[in-house]
Structure 1
């Protein structure tokens, strides 16, 4: 497999360029880092950030499953409704 294909096969499979896919991935990375930090602080100080991490994860999950599928996207999609949420 060529080096270029390592960077483009997956973005192509969801109908995005490398830079478009990078942008989308980074738009999830920041909020996930914030949620992780909130969960870490909450682990030691349970009176802080009571719902911050779970709320952010639910928001990101909804955003991810409601993205419009691209041609050729055959990935399994999680259901948008979850009785636990």
Structure 2
């Protein structure tokens, strides 16, 4: 894998995970305020986790104590971290 491709892949992953973490921050804020503003759908959070943003969701769960009572987040997000790692391994093998 060329240096440029690797840097591009890493930069993309960092951006996806920061964006996903910010989605968690926004949803946590909306849940605390309870002012009737529309919450972030859990399906979107899971979609972002599947799209290699699982680490951002997991960090949000730990730091914000958000979505930690939902069993499908407790089990699903760590499993998606492994799925994301496998996907990245396959992408890296294809590009090299």
Query: The TM-score by the shorter chain falls in which range?
Result: 0.3 to 0.5
Structure (1 or 2) with the larger CA radius of gyration: 1
Larger helix proportion of the pair? 2
TM-score (norm. length: structure 2) = 0.39
TM-score (norm. length: structure 1) = 0.42
